[in-house]
Structure 1
Amino acid sequence: MHSDVRRSAVLCTLLALTQAFYIPGFSIKSYRDGETIPLLVNKVYSDNSELQYAFTELPFVCPPTGRIRTGRFTSGASISLNLGEVLRGDRITVSDYELVMGTDEEARYLCSHTMDEEGLKRTKQLIRDGYMAEWIVDNLPGATSFQTLDKSRKYYAAGFKIGEEVVSLHGGESEFFLNNHVTLVIRYHGAPGKDGAQGKKVIVGFEVFPKSISAGNRTEDGLPVNIQDASVGLALVPGSNSTNENDEVDRVALTIPYTYSVYFREEPKLEWQNRWDMYFVAQDDSSNVHWLAIVNSLIISGLLSAVVAVILARTVRGDIKGYRDGGLEEIKARPRRTQGPKSPRGSGDKNGLLEQIGDLEGDGDMSSDEEMLDNITGWKLVHGDVFRPPAHGELLAPLVGSGTQLLFMATGLLILSAFGILNPSFRGGYISVGTGLFVAAGLFSGYFSSRVYKTFGGQEWQNNVFVTASLVPGLLFATVFVLNLFVWIQASSTAIPFGTLVGLVALWLFIQLPLVYIGGWYGYTIVGAWNHPIKANAIPRQIPVQSWYTKNFQAILLAGFVPFAVIFIELMFVFKSLWQDKTGYYYVFGFMGVVFVVLVVTIIEVTIVATYVQLCTENYHWWWQSFLVGGSSSMWIFAYLIWYFMTNLHITGFVSSLLFFCYGFLACAVYGLLTGTIGFLSAYAFVRRIYGAIKAD
């Protein structure tokens, strides 16, 4: 009871520490009154599509003029992006919107833009698909504000709608209205330290309220006579605001006037370091569900821990003790045979128990030892074959090496996230840092792959190094390259630029490949293979007929359900963040870290139990089986992904559906590779331990 209390206290302390180390940025930018604040436009995205588009390339957007200058920013200039931002489809450009700290603008004219008929069709399709725009001020995404259900708190949802579709109640065609006016509300707080003493301010909130206002009834400056009147919106109808009835071009085009309002409002209760909390209020409200997920995970892991404890502490240790106290003494008391061939099953154990078992199995006259052989069953009978190298070991070794690479990357990302180094303000940070960690972990990949390869008896370690460095990255790159062609045809910003593809190839060729080679050389030539306590027999043992639940596919499928049950509640939040919110701001690292640790423990325990059951049925082909059992929960996750697509998402279009399933499959495959490696290494340690204990006795 007291140990459970202590564990709970440690768990709560760790969760509190993850919150204490939350660092939402690396430097605070403060502004003085009258200083211009750049507004950056990024992209548009939708819950109904996997395709994103650069905001400045849309047909209804005014091209930037370059008239706004603030520091190093000039409107129309593109902001340099890191690798993660490029891969996630960001295309950030400085806009012509002029924001001056502390200066409110009730109405200001931006520009007028004329759209042709083709542009109108595309704009209607974007509105129909529910596209949202992402703007950025001081590294905060423009947000639509909402209130919690009890009206006690306000929270942000990143992005705002570009327009509205009004469905006719009488069965006619829908009407489309474009939001051509935005009200920008900048929330600020007094700057900390010396800047605050000088009257400077920091931005703690950025809200966008879009509105559609008709092009008619405007002043000479292009401003609406009544900015508050939005009863008549800007309908996307060709020639609806044309003034020249004889001009054919005006009748098929639409001129759109753009205006905006700016208001600065002080937010005294919100500190700069907590400004991202507004985007996670909705997640905080679901913290009870997160706790439910953790309790569910701990219960499942606890039950498995009890099963493993019984196997290790009672069954296996009891078998060994039984031979040590009873059977072994009886065997040693018998006179030794001086004639007759010795069974090859004892060849790996000259002086221990296994030689005696081998003698019994190789004796032609079994009548005097039938009672003893009744007790020599299960995993003890396959001692001479359990360390026999598996079929296709030259493929298993590179997979295990790549799995250790992914394990290092995932662990590094979790640690950096827990300490706040990776956070939403570090846009694209997960992909950028994850790529760097993956490349650096090439040392571990080559090391483990080469040691496993040599353990299997491999001789050509250079070929193994090349396969290890190329297999997983090559398949990933080839798949992404093919999918990128589909995205490129759609002119989406999600398409990876050719220069970035070349950079990724160079990263693999000049950094990862040498690191894998160095790790492989060290693991193969310096450290060498792992030693096994028992040598394999010359002739493989025949495997008896297996029960239905121990056959390969059934065992893998059943074993994979347990780790999936540990994480499926958290998966709901991850899927929602990726495909419904479209923000990727899944930022509950305390919960995620605990669930990840419990998941790893569960995979280890499930693999040990499955391996033990397999050996007890006299099936010694555990190498591949342990790898597949460890990664089998990925099949359940992919099945859950299909169910989520059919019941919760509204993705339409062939390309979007293709991207969803292909990238989902790749994510599940990478997860399966990581967890499969964990399963393989844990099963390997377990098998070496139990058979090493027998040999030692």
Structure 2
Amino acid sequence: MREPKMCQIVCKATISDKQAKELKEKIEDEYRVNMILDNLPLVVPIARPDRDDVVFQGGYHVGVKGQYAGSKDEKYFIHNHLIFLVKYHKDENSDLSRIVGFEVKPFSVKHQFEEKWNDANTRLSTCHPHANKIVINSYTPQEVEAGKDIIFTYDVGFEESDIKWASRWDTYLLMTDDQIHWFSIVNSLMIVLFLSGMVAMIMLRTLYRDISRYNQLETEEEAQEETGWKLVHGDVFRPPTNSDLLCVYVGTGVQFFGMLLVTMMFAVLGFLSPSNRGGLMTAMLLIWVLMGLFAGYASSRLYKMFKGSEWKSITLKTAFLFPGIAFGIFFVLNALIWGEKSSGAVPFSTMFALVLLWFGISVPLVFVGSYLGFKKPAIEAPVKTNKIPRQVPEQAWYMNPAFTILIGGILPFGAVFIELFFILTSIWLHQFYYIFGFLFLVFIILIITCAEIAIVLCYFQLCSEDYMWWWRSYLTSGSSAIYLFLYAGFYFFTKLQITKLVSGILFFGYMLLASFSFFVLTGTIGFCACLWFTRLIYSSVKID
């Protein structure tokens, strides 16, 4: 610490034909080398003359491709000499220092050595350990050639910094521009205001007409127009087909909602520090497991409302359906990574720990929640259900279920897609994403948008005397997951240069899992909003 080193030799490596080919591929694909010092990632400072400041790039490139010394052919040069700069903050009361920055400048140098090779003690003619200049005189870059030796060297310099240890991550977290995030928020708020206006209009019109009816002031024409949703009062709370599956999805959605809400609150308050690698994922998994209690409770409450009696079967489905699908996809993708002998593969011990969490904590909690939910009295419908179902009249083309469901997903996706770009970039291009304040705002906007679009379309559906709203309300806002997956495909082909089949399968496998999770979350929000809305409007109606 605080002892500069010049021209330190790491090793001399002879490059084989295969290694030369691989190195050239890595340089062509702009691969970067990442390092960590005291839990700080390595950055390369890049000066921006247009803005008179410095930006930082995570990791340094393996090498560069270009022409040298008048040669017309492009050649591959490897970065084999690294100049590290370690920034430290000195404690005022003691002589102790803490590392607050880790930068590097990479060079390609064709090293020459005097006399014979003697490992780290070899004297290099291209580099002098006691000179002020790091690389003496002009030098030739090190070309990647099969059968040739490459000598790897480094320098370490230390620089005192005013940056406090507590704020050493600010450089990394300020790599992104806040302006675009504010644009995202404003864009989303415009959608919310538009939808809120529509919901307010529907509510006021509905309530106003009810009052008019009670006071016997309506005209014949108004009476005819308003009968739509009131006509189906005897069927609107009739249990849907596949009601068991709906209960399971709603329970899982509640579990997701709880997990995201708690995780984001912890993140916004600063508990999930970027220095704790994997802390965010660990927190999400643990909170997901604990939220099993609410999943069981929500699914059994809804199941009892649908007059179901087999609470154990609904509990088993809630505990195993979504986690089973997720674990299946994850296991297949992990097996592919294992097959590629990648260090990114999740070890068997971690997989076993995940299964243990699922069976040992999540499943019992779902059962506890289900038992508590089923012990409660059933949720009573505000109006009685007729014994014989009413026939649904022929619907206009724009009220076709497929059309309204697909239209309903556009606005929730539109509210989050700008922020989604940054999330995808942080996951797939290894950039830092720790702007949780923005993310929390976008999450709130997503909840409001999903709820409002589901209510608006549910109201139009009931006005058309179509009372089968249960599944449609779930699918209306849930269809935003389709657009999420399509956007992921667009991102893959426009932003990522992935050529290997396994890498492509990994991307689409994980994005399919993310889209399915998004479907469950947004669908549940839309369904719960519609359930509240229908109960509210039908409880205010006098039925003769």
Q: TM-score, normalised by structure 2?
A: 0.92
Structure 1 ranges of 4+ moved more than 4 A: 167-174, 370-373
Residue 35 of structure 2 aligns to a residue whose secondary structure is strand
Output the CA distance in 2 between the equivalents of 1:668 and 1:372.
44
User: Which moved further from structure 2: 413-422 or 213-222?
Assistant: 213-222
1:305 equivalent in structure 2: 196
Supply the AA of the counterpart residue of 2:196: S
1:391 aligns with 2:241: yes
1:116-155 aligned at under 5 Å gives the runs 116-148=16-48, 150-155=50-55
Asked which structure has the greater CA Rg, the reply is: 1
Between 218-227 and 296-305, the greater mean CA deviation after superposition:
218-227
Q: In the alignment, which of 202, 209, 220 is matched to residue 98 of structure 2?
A: 202
| Aligned equivalent of 1:519 | 369
What residue identity is the alignment partner of 2:201?
V
Which residue is 1:238 aligned to?
Answer: 146
Number of residues paired by the alignment?
532
Does the CA contact (< 8 Å) of 1:109 and 1:223 recur in 2?
Answer: no
Structure 2: 5+ residue stretches without partners: 128-134
Q: Which residue of 1 aligns with 2:107?
A: 211
1:686 aligns with 2:533: yes
- Aligned ranges for residues 321-400 of structure 1 at < 5 Å? 321-326=211-216, 374=224, 377-400=227-250
Deviation at 1:554? 0.9
Asked if 1:294 corresponds to 2:182, the answer is: no
Match of 1:576 among 414, 425, 448: 425
Work out the CA distance in 2 between the residues paired with 1:165 and 1:390.
63
**2:395 partner SS:** coil
C-alpha deviation, 1:197, in angstroms: 0.7
Displacement, 1:125?
2.9
Letter in 2 for 1:258: F
Alignment of 1:538-553 (within 5 A): 538-553=387-402
Map of 1:250-269 to 2, 5 A cutoff?
256-268=150-162
Contact 1:630-1:679 at 8 Å conserved across structures = yes
Does residue 531 (structure 1) correspond to residue 380 (structure 2)? The answer is yes
Residue 500 of structure 2 corresponds to residue 653 of structure 1: yes
Cα distance, 1:223 vs. partner?
Answer: 5.0
Match of 1:624 in 2: 471
Give the equivalent residue in structure 1 for 2:270: 420
Provide the rounded CA distance (Å) in 2 between the counterparts of 1:506 and 1:298: 42
Other-structure match for 1:253 = none
Instruction: Supply the distance in 1 between the matched residues of 2:46 and 2:319 (Cα, whole angstroms).
Output: 48
Specify the SS of the correspondent of 1:282: coil
Q: Distance in 1 between matches of 2:413 and 2:67?
A: 42
In the alignment, the residues of structure 2 paired with residue 416 and residue 612 of structure 1 have an alpha-carbon distance, to the nearest angstrom, of 37
- Give a deviation string over 1:217-275, Cα, whole Å, max 9, x none: 3565235322316742333322224xxxxxxxxxxxxxx4322110001122x222222
Q: 1:559 to 1:223 in 2, by over 3 A?
A: farther
2:339 is matched with which residue? Answer: 489
Q: Which residue of structure 1 aligns with residue 6 of structure 2? A: 106
Give the CA deviation at 1:577: 2.7
Distance 1:480 1:107 in 2: 46
Cα distance change on mapping 1:375 and 1:660 into 2, 3 Å:
closer
> How much does 1:210 deviate?
2.2
| Alpha-carbon distance in structure 1 between the residues aligned to 2:472 and 2:363 | 29
Mean CA deviation greater in 401-410 or 163-172: 163-172
CA contact 2:16–2:147 (8 Å) conserved in 1: no
How has the CA–CA distance of structure 1 residues 263 and 238 changed in structure 2, closer, same or farther, with 3 Å as cutoff? same
User: Once superposed, what is the RMSD of the aligned Cα atoms?
Assistant: 2.5
Q: Work out whether residues 154 and 278 of structure 1, in 8 Å CA contact, stay in contact via their aligned partners in 2.
A: no
Q: What is the CA-CA distance between 1:688 and the residue it aligns to?
A: 0.6
| Contact residue 157 and residue 279 of structure 1 kept, 8 A | no
Q: Counterpart of 1:258 in 2: which secondary structure?
A: strand
SS at match of 1:433: helix
Are the structure 2 counterparts of residues 148 and 589 from structure 1 closer, same or farther at C-alpha, using a change threshold of 3 Å?
farther
Name the counterpart of 2:175: 282
- Rounded to whole Å, the distance in 2 between the matches of 1:116 and 1:226 is 24
Distance 1:262 1:460, change over 3 A: same
User: Which residue of structure 1 lines up, in the alignment, with residue 320 of structure 2?
Assistant: 470
Question: Could you tell me how far apart the structure 1 residues matched to 2:57 and 2:311 are?
Answer: 52
Secondary structure at the counterpart of residue 101 of structure 2: strand
Look up the SS of the partner of 2:215 in the other structure: helix
Measure the CA separation in 1 of the matches of 2:465 and 2:337: 51
Q: Which has the higher mean CA deviation after the structures are superposed, 161-170 or 196-205?
A: 161-170
Per-residue CA distance 1:290-341 (angstroms, 9 max, x = gap): 222212222221121111111112x21023213211189x9xxxxxxxxxxx
Are residues 696 and 535 of structure 1, via their aligned partners in 2, closer, same or farther at CA, if it must alter by over 3 Å?
Answer: closer
Q: Is the 8 A contact 1:140 1:206 kept in 2?
A: yes
Distance 1:216 1:465, change over 3 A: same
Determine the structure 2 residue equivalent to 1:341. none
Q: Is the 8 A contact 1:148 1:282 kept in 2?
A: no
Counterparts of 1:498 and 1:569 in 2: how far apart (Å)? Answer: 36
Shift of 1:375: 5.5
1:183 correspondence with 2:73: no
Deviation per residue, 1:633-652 (Å, 9 max, x gap): 22222222222222232222
Identity of aligned residues (%): 39
Q: Which deviates further from its counterpart, 472-481 or 648-657?
A: 648-657
Report if the CA contact (8 A) 1:222-1:257 is conserved. no
User: How is 1:435-454 mapped onto 2 (pairs within 5 angstroms)?
Assistant: 435-454=285-304
2:130 aligned residue: none
Matched-pair contact (CA < 8 Å) for 2:15–2:148: no
Q: CA deviation at 1:587?
A: 1.8
* Residue 586 (1) aligns with residue 433 (2): yes
Indicate the residue corresponding to 1:320 in structure 2: 210
Give 1:571 deviation, angstroms: 2.2
- Inter-CA distance 630–212: structure 2 relative to 1 (3 Å threshold): same
| Contact persistence 1:533–1:695 (CA under 8 A) | no
Task: In structure 2, give the amino acid aligned to 1:267.
Answer: S
